[in-house]
C-alpha cells in the first residue's frame, strides 16, 4: 500500500481497466479525507502550504502577544453575519512572552470578538491584568482587570470590529496598591458645522472616539483625564476651539484647537501633557465652537 502521485492514480482507471483492491487502497491512502484534521497526518510541507494559502485568502486574523504571563488559556469567540461562530484557542506559557503570534479565522469584518474563557495563575496582591486592543486602524482601548475592578476576562466583549485584523496585548502588572474605579460624567456639545468626535483617556484606561455623552471608569491612582479630537478639517478655512470645563464650578480646564487643512481622523489632536489635563474632576463639559 502506497501513496501515489495523481498521474499514477489516473492510470488505474483508464478505459477498460479493472482496478485491483490494492489500487483502490492506494487511491484512498493518497487522498485527504475531510475528517483528517489532525495536523500530525500532514507533512511539514503541507502545513506550510496550507498556512500560505490561508494568508493569501481574504480571511481575518487575530494577532496577539503577552508579557509576564504563564500557564494561560484564552478562548475567543468570533461571530459574523451568515457565518457559524468560530472559536480561537490561545495557550501561553512563559516562553511565549514577547512573541507576536497570529491565528486566522474564516471571513473578515465586520465581526465581533469576545473572550469565551480565560484561565491563568491567580493574581497576587496588587497584581492586575492590563489589556490593550485596537478597535480600528486609528482607535484603541486600554483596560485593567482584577480585584475590585472587573475581576475576570470571561465574557469580555471587544465590540464590533471592521477590517481584516484584530490586535490585542495582555500583560500582568503590579502597581504596588489596590486600585478602585472612578467615574467622571462627560457632556459633549458640538456647536460647529462639522462632525467631531472626542476621546478620553488616562493612564491604563482609554476609551474609543465618540460623539455622545459618556461616563469614564478610570482608576484612582491616576485621577486625571486627557482629551483628543477627530475631525476632518481638510476642506475648512476656519479654526474650531474645543474647551473643557469643570461643570460644577464652570472653571475652564483645557483649550484645544482644530486647525484648517488637517484631517485629524488620521491621528487625532491630543492634549496629553501634564499641564493640559483635567485633574480630579467628576463632571466635565466639552464645548466645540467655530472661531
pLDDT at 137: 75
Q: How many other C-beta atoms can be found within 10 angstroms of the C-beta atom of residue 282?
A: 13
Work out the angle at residue 64's Cα, subtended by the Cα atoms of residues 89 and 135, and round it to the nearest 5 degrees: 105
* Residue pLDDT, tens place only, 188-203: 999 999 999 999 999 9
pLDDT confidence band for 37 (50 / 70 / 90) = low
* HSE of 244, CA atoms in CB hemisphere, 13 A: 27
pLDDT confidence band for 45 (50 / 70 / 90) = low
pLDDT at 44: 62
The pLDDT of 204-232, averaged and rounded, is 94
CA dihedral 192, 196, 197, 201 (to 10 degrees): -60
Residue 28 Cα to chain centre, angstroms: 43
Measured distance CA(194)–CA(236) in Å, rounded: 9
Cα distances (Å, whole numbers) of residue 101 to 61, 66, 92, 160, 242: 10, 9, 10, 22, 40
Q: Is 129 exposed, middle or buried (0-12, 13-18, 19+ CB in 10 A)?
A: buried
pLDDT confidence band for 267 (50 / 70 / 90) = low
**pTM (2 d.p.):** 0.77
* Residue pLDDT, tens place only, 137-176: 778 899 999 988 887 888 889 988 887 888 999 999 999 9
- The DSSP secondary-structure symbol of 163 reads S
Residue ranges per structural domain of the chain? 1-33, 58-174, 181-290
**Cβ atoms 196, 242 nearer than 8 A:** yes
Work out the angle at residue 263's Cα, subtended by the Cα atoms of residues 260 and 269, and round it to the nearest 5 degrees: 85
What φ, ψ does residue 160 adopt, rounded to 5°? Answer: -85, 130
Measured distance CA(193)–CA(163) in Å, rounded: 29
pLDDT at 173: 92
Highest mean pLDDT among 103-107, 114-118, 135-139: 114-118
* Residue pLDDT, tens place only, 46-101: 655 666 665 556 778 888 888 888 788 899 999 988 888 999 998 887 666 677 88
Amino acid at each position: 500500500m502506497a501513496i501515489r502521485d495523481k498521474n499514477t492514480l489516473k492510470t488505474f482507471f483508464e478505459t477498460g481497466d479493472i482496478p485491483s483492491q490494492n489500487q483502490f487502497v492506494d487511491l484512498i491512502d493518497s487522498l485527504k479525507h475531510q475528517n483528517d484534521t489532525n495536523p500530525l497526518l500532514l507533512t511539514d510541507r503541507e502545513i506550510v502550504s496550507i498556512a500560505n494559502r490561508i494568508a493569501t485568502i481574504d480571511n481575518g486574523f487575530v494577532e496577539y502577544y503577552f508579557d509576564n504571563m504563564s500557564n494561560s488559556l484564552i478562548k475567543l469567540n468570533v461571530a459574523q453575519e451568515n457565518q457559524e461562530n468560530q472559536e480561537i484557542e490561545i495557550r501561553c506559557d512563559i516562553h511565549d512572552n514577547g512573541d507576536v503570534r497570529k491565528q486566522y479565522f474564516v471571513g473578515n469584518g465586520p465581526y465581533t470578538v469576545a473572550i469565551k474563557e480565560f484561565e491563568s495563575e491567580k493574581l497576587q496582591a496588587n497584581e492586575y491584568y492590563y489589556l490593550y486592543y485596537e478597535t480600528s486602524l486609528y482607535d484603541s482601548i486600554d483596560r485593567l482587570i482584577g480585584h475590585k475592578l472587573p475581576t475576570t476576562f470571561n465574557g469580555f466583549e471587544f465590540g464590533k470590529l471592521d477590517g481584516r485584523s484584530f490586535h490585542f496585548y495582555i500583560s500582568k502588572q503590579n502597581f504596588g496598591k489596590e486600585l478602585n474605579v472612578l467615574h467622571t460624567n462627560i457632556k459633549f456639545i458640538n456647536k460647529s458645522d462639522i462632525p467631531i468626535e472626542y476621546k478620553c483617556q488616562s493612564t491604563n484606561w482609554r476609551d474609543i472616539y465618540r460623539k455622545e455623552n459618556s461616563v469614564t471608569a478610570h482608576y484612582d491612582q491616576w485621577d486625571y483625564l486627557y482629551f483628543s479630537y477627530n475631525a476632518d478639517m481638510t476642506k475648512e478655512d476656519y479654526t474650531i476651539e474645543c474647551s473643557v470645563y469643570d461643570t460644577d464650578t464652570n472653571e475652564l480646564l483645557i483649550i484645544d484647537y482644530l486647525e484648517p487643512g488637517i484631517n485629524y481622523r488620521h491621528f487625532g489632536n491630543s492634549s496629553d501633557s501634564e499641564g493640559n489635563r483635567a485633574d480630579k474632576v467628576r463632571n466635565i463639559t466639552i464645548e466645540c465652537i467655530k472661531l
